[in-house]
Structure 1
Amino acid sequence: MSSALAMDQLTGMRVFATIVDKGGFAPAAAALGMSKTMVSKHLAAIEDRLGVRLLNRTTRKIGLTEIGAEYLRRCQEIIQLVDEADGRLLESHDRPRGLLRVNAPVTFSERHLAPSIAEYRRRHPEVQVDLVVNDRVIDLIEEGFDMAVRIGRLKDSTLVARRLAPAHMALVASPAYLAARGRPERPEDLAQHDCLIYAYSSERDEWRFADADGPRTVRVKGPVSSNNGMILMQAAIDGQGIVVLPTFIVGDALRDGRLVEILADYRPQDRAIYAVFPANRHLSPKVRSFVDFLVERFGGRPYWEP
């Protein structure tokens, strides 16, 4: 049976049940938003297809035939089942539920994303969150993720990106390191200092700054490199050198004085934090609700800013 034929039959069942419920063709037509002629055609189509008479008509009233009464009962059962199925499907699509698979960077997840999940699930208890953390860029579709959190300057892709928050970068060192080695006065001075290198950066040994005179690039080197921002922050706190890190990592250390910002007039190039997800006209409620939640939690001036 074609889907069009099935829809016609279901419509005919609704028309027949409405005629009986409303007690006539005219009130049924008004209730269904159809013409009286169209209501008559739907009923005639059912009777022709089945080869039976469902209603006895007079000029003053209508009445069910015996087979019409049986057919009405079956129609009402089918209509109820269809309406319940539609209602449950729409309800499931209207509220967040199911497994939400998220990929995100390690340090941002540990410090900010993981503590946020409890609040999100208090709002949406029917969502189960599978948070997988790593610092490599993965293929969301190939690896089965609903969305990812990414930090930096995004490359062109088929993914949809929504900006969650700024990722301000800060050049920092410990007071002990600066007391021993001196405070750099301009970016070029960094060539004479120990610099701590983030291994996954495309600019790992070339740090870029900007001031009123425009951008500038400085080549740096140092005793420690790592693919983990927390390790680099701890190395800086321990006096091992100078490091460029986002404030969502070093904000607390700046507030309590374990680190101090240097060259504040020469800002490292800032980045941003994004939620990315596959392009889809019908974005699922679980993804939409989680992205909206992250914008609410991290947007504007993020709480981690010193």
Structure 2
Amino acid sequence: MDLNALDDFQLVAAHGGFGRASRASGRSKATLSRRVTELEEALGVRLVERGARSLQLTEAGQQLLARTEGPMYEVADAIAAVREGVATPRGNLRIAAPSLFGQLALGTLVARFRTLYPDVEIEVVADDRRVNLVEEQFDIAIRIDPDPDTALVGRCFARDRLVLAAPPLLAPPSGDLDEVVPVPAVVMPSYREGDIWTLRDRAPRLLPRPVLRLSSLLMVRDAIVAGAGVGLVPQSIIGGQLQRGELVSWGTRGGDVALWVLHTSRRLQSPKVRAFVEFLCDQYPDKAFLASV
């Protein structure tokens, strides 16, 4: 059954005729008449008796009006509520994010977002695993230098870079690009023996001699501050230590990395997703370098 035709039937019945219903609704008499006729044909029964000046409901028409008038009001209310929800961010927002970004900034960010949009409930899963947004029912994923994915769209909101950080008492080695100088290093478990660190615009090349293997970049940073050796860490987690002179930079390695906020589609994007994407990008204007917030 066409609910629009049913709605037009109720409109005509409420006003007692096609003319009065047309004047009240702004819809043409011909359209209202056609819709009621289509409803009658779909049901296989006459609903109205059309007179020259008046209209009378048949017994079937009276029965249909009595049984559907209340539910149609409920449907209209439900549609209005959904449309209001489309304009207002609300509901559950599930976010997947890398562990470091979650620890560094996301707790503060989502708290700020909730202040702006109190009807949104947020769940954050900080995990370095690549999640499937659809199968695992995530609304948003934050990823570092993501691979192209035709199923996802999004925006780059910030940048970061790897810095070779050292305690200030450890002097940087000198030499040319042909040299390889060993240095005491704090590394992650993924470090492979014999890997050489080449810095941008700096010489010589460095051969790490691991003194500590730590599974967290925050632990690596703290060990470097304590004087254990040098280490490659994101600029985002050592900004304060560099400013206070607790660490010094020997240079950077590789290019900048980009942080992206991704979701499944721009088409009919939900208000909560759209609002969070805009909010996150506003926190890092001009794709500023990531820092704790």
TM-score, normalised by the number of residues in structure 2: 0.80
Aligned length: 288
Structure 1 unaligned spans of 5+: 1-5
The answer (yes or no) to whether the contact 1:99–1:128 under 8 Å persists in 2 is yes
What do you get for the CA RMSD once the two structures are aligned?
A: 3.5
- How far residue 292 of structure 1 moved from its aligned partner, in angstroms, is 1.8
- 1:54-110 per-residue CA deviation (whole Å, 9 max, x = no partner) reads 355234x44556775554444432321221121222233333333322222222211
Taking the TM superposition and a 5 Å limit, the aligned residue runs for 1:1-306 are: 6-7=1-2, 10-21=3-14, 24-26=17-19, 28-29=21-22, 35-47=28-40, 49=43, 51-52=45-46, 54-55=48-49, 57-59=51-53, 61-62=54-55, 68=61, 71-151=64-144, 153-158=145-150, 159-178=152-171, 182-184=172-174, 191-200=181-190, 205-211=195-201, 218=205, 220-223=207-210, 224-263=212-251, 268-279=254-265, 281-300=267-286, 301-302=288-289, 304=291
Q: Distance in 2 between matches of 1:217 and 1:87?
A: 68
Give 1:39's aligned amino acid: L
- 1:101 touches 1:130 (CA, 8 Å); kept in 2? yes
Deviation at 1:192, TM superposition (A): 2.5
Where do 4+ consecutive residues of structure 1 move more than 6 Å? 185-190, 201-204
Relative to structure 1, the CA distance from residue 168 to residue 230 in structure 2 (aligned partners, 3 Å threshold; closer, same or farther) is same
Once residues 36 and 216 of structure 2 are traced to their aligned partners in structure 1, the CA distance between those partners, rounded to angstroms, is 72
SS of 1:39's partner is helix
1:91/1:201 CA distance change after superposition, 3 Å: farther
- Name the aligned partner's letter for residue 104 of structure 2: R
User: C-alpha separation between the residues in 1 aligned to 2:193 and 2:155?
Assistant: 24
Q: 19-28 or 115-124, which moves further after superposition?
A: 19-28
SS of the aligned residue for 1:241 comes to: coil
Counterpart for residue 3 of structure 1: none
Q: 2:241 corresponds to which letter in structure 1?
A: A
The AA in structure 2 aligned to 1:57 is: G
| Pair 52,133 (structure 1): closer, same or farther in 2 beyond 3 Å | closer
Per-residue CA deviation, residues 112-137 of structure 1 (Å, 9 max, x unaligned), is 11111211111222222222223343
Contact 2:156-2:259 within 8 A present in 1 as well = yes
Deviation at 1:253?
A: 0.6
Structure 2 unaligned spans of 5+: none
Percent of aligned pairs with the same residue? Answer: 28
Query: Residues 171 and 268 of structure 1 are in contact (CA less than 8 Å); yes or no, is this contact kept in structure 2?
Result: no
Normalising by structure 1, we get a TM-score of 0.77
1:10-42 deviation digits (Å, cap 9, x = unpaired): 223322333345564345446656543332233
Q: CA deviation at 1:204?
A: 9.8
Give the aligned residue type for 1:15: D
- Bigger CA drift: 81-90 or 278-287? 278-287
